[in-house]
């Protein structure tokens, strides 16, 4: 085999090796950068009933996102996603008017999560919960 033939062979081998190394390195780097799965984190959150007085709201982390628990006047409880359905901002509880306001673009929701006014296209998502022995379990 002449020199140029050997050089081409070496070049092909090294090129192949470089491609293999790049491919082998891509997966670890992708896995390193990929967002961590939240599926394995506890999907249930427990909050004592006494932490949510009448007319108040309690915000908490639920499966990696924000959620809120509201006790309406009269004692009714409701658990909602606190992520605004418009652009994903976190809604704020307005105690005086007993409703939610999204400060980003002025979206208004009722205490039940229904849209009152502003740009939100749909209601806040409701979360399942149970109350037992003074503990509210969401999820």
Partner 1 sequence: MTLLKRLIDWFDVRIGAREVVARELTGYLLPRNINTWYSMGSILLFIFAMQMVTGILLLIYYVPDADKAFKSVTFIMNEVPFGWLIRLCHAVGSNLMVLVLLFHMLSVLFMNSYKSPRELNWLTGFILFTMIQGISLTGYLLPWSQLSFWATTVATNSVGAIPAIGPYLVEFLRGGKLVGPPTLGRFFALHVVLIPTGIGALIGAHLFFLQRTGVSTPPFGQKETANQWKGDGYRYESHPEGIPFFPVYALEDIRSIFIYLACFLGVVFFFPNLLFTKEAFLPANPLQTPLHIKPEWYFLANYQTLKIFPSEFLGLAVQGIAMTFLALLPFIDRDPERHPLKRPLFMVCALGGLLLWIGLGVWGHYS
Q: Is 17 in the site for partner 1 (CB under 8 A)?
A: yes
Q: Are 71 and 53 in contact (CB under 8 A)?
A: yes
Is position 29 an interface residue for partner 1 (rule: CB under 8 A)?
yes
In DSSP terms, which residues pair with 102 in a beta bridge? Answer: 107
Which listed residue (21, 130, 131, 135) binds partner 1 by CB under 8 A?
21
The stretch near partner 1 (CB under 8 A) out of 7-15, 86-94, 108-116, 126-134 is 7-15
73: nearest Cα among 52, 43, 101: 52
Q: Give the span between the Cα atoms of 55 and 106, in whole angstroms.
A: 22
Q: Which is nearer to partner 1, 17 or 116 (CB)?
A: 17
Token pair of 82 as six digits: 């606190």
Positions in the binding site for partner 1 (CB under 8 A): 7, 10-11, 14, 17-18, 21, 28-29, 31-34, 36
């Amino acid at each position: 085999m002449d020199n140029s033939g050997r050089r081409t062979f070496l070049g092909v081998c090294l090129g192949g090796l470089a491609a293999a190394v790049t491919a082998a390195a891509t997966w670890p780097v992708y896995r390193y950068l990929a967002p961590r799965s939240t599926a394995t984190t506890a999907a249930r959150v427990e909050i004592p009933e006494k932490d949510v007085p009448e007319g108040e709201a309690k915000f908490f982390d639920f499966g990696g996102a924000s959620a809120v628990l509201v006790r309406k006047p009269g004692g009714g409880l409701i658990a909602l996603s606190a992520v605004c359905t418009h652009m994903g901002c976190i809604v704020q509880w307005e105690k005086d008017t007993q409703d939610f306001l999204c400060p980003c673009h002025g979206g208004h929701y009722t205490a039940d999560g229904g849209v009152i006014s502003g740009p939100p296209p749909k209601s806040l998502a409701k979360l399942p919960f149970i109350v037992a022995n003074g503990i509210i379990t969401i999820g």
